[in-house]
Amino acid sequence: MVFVFLGFSDLPNLQGLLFGLFFLVYIFILTGNGLIIIITRVDSVLQTPMYFFLANFSSLEICYVSVTLPRILVNLWTQDRSISLLSCATQMCFFLVLGATEAFLLAVMAYDRYVSICSPLHYPLVMNHKMYVQLAVGAWLSGVPVQIGQTCQVFSLPFCGSNQINHFFCDIPPLITLACGDTSLNEMCVYVVAVLFAMIPFLLILGSYIKIISTILKLPSATGRSKAFSTCSSHLIVVLLFFGSVTITYLRPKSNHSAGSDKTLSVFYTIVTPMLNPMIYSLRNKDVTAALKKLLLKKPVWAS
């Protein structure tokens, strides 16, 4: 079976413009997140658990956007919007697994800030090398079995009607609408998995930040409070961007779903958020900004 993406076919006069725009965005995402990975590896100031998790997060963003955006670019360039069932299932599986990884990695980053601010004396002991590597590996692998199972469940449905996916990549809501018969069990599973992989990490993050804010407000120095808040603000912005759009997409009632709103939200959390993340973390973080300047202004060996 072959599916056909409708994607941006309702904007025939903007195909070239959309290709150019998405191509530039993709290059920016690769460059911005790639620079963050490089500086966290080469700058000694950034050899801490917080920046180790940030490097993991940037690597995740590159993988996450590479699951969907190159295919969108090919579709816009060639105007061939077809995709085989196996390719569609593979794309959706990777997309779901990486989305679950992002949710848990954001929770791990919140826990790191919690230990750093609420128990600074115990931080080196608690967040040792073995511990933060295990937390990162757990975040990357936690969603694999469940999301593979969910992908298999969706693609076990009979698709006996239209093969046109009113979307620009393979995602659960537009695919379920193409299935024949009763899909209530599948929709229930989507809600359960969304709660498991979105609400639980979000509640863990919320709990961490309640403790963090309570601790910060008790600090005697205004400078200390400002510095502590600044280390958390970037992470909080990313959390709100990601969980806000994902919650609206997967947890709102079916009656409120529409192809247009689903596509708009998907563009936001699959393309816009990964594009904003390097700017959020670099522009709001003095250590990252200083490391970037040091790297970009460093004289090459052959010039000295």
According to the 3-state scheme, what is the secondary structure of 32-47? Answer: HHHHHHHHHHHCHHHC
d(CA 118, CA 169): 42
Is residue 164 within a helix (H) or strand (E), and if so which, with residue range? strand 164-165
Specify the long-range contacts of residues 282-286, CB closer than 8 Å, at least 24 apart: 282/32, 282/35, 282/36, 284/230, 284/233, 284/234, 285/230, 285/231, 285/234
Sign of CA dihedral 148, 150, 156, 159: negative
* pLDDT of residue 303 exceeding 60: no
**How far is residue 206's CA from residue 117's CA, in Å, rounded to a whole number?**
15
Looking at residue 6, its pLDDT comes to 81
| Contact indicator for 288, 282 with CB cutoff of 8 Å | yes
Higher pLDDT, 174 or 161: 174
How many whole angstroms separate alpha carbon 193 and alpha carbon 92?
Answer: 15
Report the distance separating Cα 144 and Cα 141, nearest Å. 6
Q: For residue range 84-132, list pLDDT tens digits in order.
A: 999 999 999 999 999 899 999 999 999 998 998 888 889 999 999 999 9
| Count of CB atoms situated within 10 Å of the CB of 158 | 9
Query: pTM (2 decimals)?
Result: 0.87
- Answer yes or no: is pLDDT of 298 > 80: no
Mean local confidence (pLDDT), 234-246: 80
Is residue 301 very low, low, confident or very high in pLDDT (cuts 50, 70, 90)? very low
Residue 299: band (very low, low, confident or very high) from pLDDT cuts 50, 70, 90? low
* pLDDT level of residue 42 (50, 70, 90 thresholds): confident
Hey, is 18 helix, strand or coil?
helix
pLDDT-based confidence at residue 174 (cuts at 50, 70, 90)? confident
Structural tokens at position 70 = 């190159």
Average pLDDT along the chain? 84
Confidence label for 141 from pLDDT (cuts 50, 70 and 90):
very high
What single-letter DSSP state applies at residue 33? H
